[in-house]
Amino acid sequence: MNTEEGIAWTVEDDIGRIVLKRPERANAIGRASSRVLARAIDDVLAHKPRAILLSGEGRVFCAGGDIEEFVAAGDALPALVDDILDRLHPALLRLSTSPAPLVVAVNGPIGGAGVGLALCGDFVLAAESMKLRTGYAAIGLSPDAGASYFLSRRVGPVRAQQLLMLSDAVDSQRCLAWGAVDALYPDGELAAASEALVARLAQGASASFGGIKALCAGVPGRPFEEHLAMERRLLRERAGSADAREGVAAFVAKRAPRFTGR
């Protein structure tokens, strides 16, 4: 596993893993770690994994930006923000829109940019100790790292706006009830549950998953006619694939399919 600036990453057995490993700083993202995180994302995606797991080490998944670094920047804070986001935002876009299913294991509290990192997953599994606090407006800033986008997509734009304005802490049970996360586990069981899910996804029809992600991601702004045409195009492509032949044969034979991602 590669480890640098509090970020670790590897690809093994068709599963990409990215770990935030800066627990002594609540896995906060600063200038150096943002660059490494972007490189880790690109390196993992270059290996074309069939599923990806993003997780954090320690008691906090990610507290957001490195506030001490913000304070030290003084009047140069706008330049620091630009420097961080120049690399981080494009990398997060590539990660979230990758055809590989993305599982995020939220091991504890999330705040600021950590909200975007946590909620960008296709599956967001959380520990019971998890809580969400946006925090931006409380220090006179506005969202980054997709926090406003992913929060709005999951809990609705009005509720997301309220959470972003008030910066109130939201416990894990309310996060689950509102749809911010998909499942809760006792803290000691989260890692095993996340590994089981990502392993299951890595054995699935990964090209089909990519098409499903593309279809569902564009629903809000895509006219129905265009959506039907896209469904037809993708279905025709998959109908001629090895995975489709295997899936149909397995169904008829009443056995588990052995997908290869082709």
> Which value, to the nearest 10 degrees, does the dihedral of the CA atoms of residues 32, 10, 23, 54 take?
100
Tell me the average confidence (pLDDT) per consecutive run of 10 residues in the chain, 262 residues long: 95 97 96 97 98 98 95 95 96 97 98 97 98 96 97 97 97 98 98 98 94 92 94 94 93 93 80
What pLDDT score does 221 carry? 87
Burial pattern 104-118, b for ≥16 Cβ within 10 A else e, equals bbbbbbbbbbbbbbb
Q: Which CATH number fits domain 2-202: 3.90.226.10, 3.40.50.12280, 3.30.390.10, 3.40.50.2300?
A: 3.90.226.10
Q: How far apart are the first and last CA of the chain?
A: 27
Calpha distance 104→127 (Å, rounded): 11
Calpha distance 119→155 (Å, rounded): 11
* Cα-Cα-Cα-Cα dihedral sign, residues 104, 45, 34, 166: negative
User: 3-state secondary structure string, the chain?
Assistant: CEEECCEEEEEECCEEEEEECCHHHCCCECHHHHHHHHHHHHHHHHCCCCEEEEEECCCCCECCECHHHHHHHHHHHHHHHHHHHHHHHHHHHHHHHCCCCEEEEECCCEECHHHHHHHCCCEEEEECCCEEECCCHHHCCCCCCCHHHHHHHHHCHHHHHHHHHHCCCEEHHHHHHHCCCCEEECHHHHHHHHHHHHHHHHCCCHHHHHHHHHHHHCHHHCCHHHHHHHHHHHHHHHHCCHHHHHHHHHHHHCCCCCCCCC
In this prediction the pTM is 0.94
Calpha distance 190→200 (Å, rounded): 15
Tell me the two tokens of residue 54. 């993003």
